[in-house]
């Protein structure tokens, strides 16, 4: 199955949706000079093909004491990276999991309120996974910039 590429109209629709996912199809159509039906069908196709997902995103800047916990994971055997990353991604509180190149094998990110919650999270979720050699954790506590659109499809 080949990956479908987004054309210019798809990209323009996504620019509107990335700024405000509640914008009406009629307004997008008027701005782009196309029909409302075209906008509706393209959004539906992109959703059906899992190219986009329209969802609410928590504004991290409005949370009381947000701390992003960056959990760097080193595994025992490189052959276990896929399986351990999959286990980490199954943890509901985990917002991001990626296989990495460099010093660590996996980066996992979650949101915590304080170091006590982080400690509980690490002991109850991370330390129970077999094959993890060690972890190193960093906390993001002052957010200079948080652009939720960073996860937008870029083509």
The pTM of this model reads: 0.64
What is the distance between the alpha carbons of residues 91 and 77, in angstroms, rounded to a whole number? 21
Domain ranges of the chain: 8-48, 60-140
> Is CATH 3.30.70.920 what the domain over 60-140 is classified as, yes or no?
yes
75, with CB counted inside 10 A (0-12, 13-18, 19+), is buried
Same fold, 8-48 and 60-140: no
Contact 91, 102 (CB under 8 A): no
Residue written as token pair 């002052």 = 142
Contact 118, 139 (CB under 8 A): yes
**Each residue of 98-153: pLDDT tens digit?**
999 999 999 999 988 888 889 999 999 998 999 999 999 998 877 777 666 555 43
**Each residue of 45-96: pLDDT tens digit?**
999 998 888 876 666 666 666 778 999 999 999 999 999 999 999 999 898 9
> Is CATH 3.90.650.10 what the domain over 8-48 is classified as, yes or no?
no
What are the backbone angles phi and psi of residue 153, rounded to the nearest 5°? -65, 130
Angle between helix 36-48 and 25-32 (nearest 10)? 110
**Each residue of 4-39: pLDDT tens digit?**
778 999 999 999 998 888 999 999 999 999 999 999
2, with CB counted inside 10 A (0-12, 13-18, 19+), is exposed
């Amino acid at each position: 199955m080949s990956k479908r590429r987004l054309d210019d109209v798809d990209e323009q629709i996504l620019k509107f949706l990335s700024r405000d996912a509640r914008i009406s199809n009629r307004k997008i159509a008027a701005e782009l000079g196309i029909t409302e039906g075209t906008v509706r069908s393209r959004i539906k196709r992109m959703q059906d093909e899992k190219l986009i997902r329209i969802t609410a995103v928590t504004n991290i800047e409005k949370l009381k004491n947000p701390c992003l916990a960056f959990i760097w994971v080193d595994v025992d055997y490189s052959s276990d990276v896929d399986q351990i990353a999959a286990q980490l991604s199954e943890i509901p509180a985990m917002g991001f999991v990626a296989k990495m190149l460099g010093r660590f094998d996996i980066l996992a990110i979650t949101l915590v309120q304080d170091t006590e919650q982080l400690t509980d999270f690490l002991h109850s979720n991370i330390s129970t996974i077999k094959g993890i050699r060690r972890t190193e954790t960093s906390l993001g506590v002052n957010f200079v910039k948080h652009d939720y659109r960073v996860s937008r499809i870029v083509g």
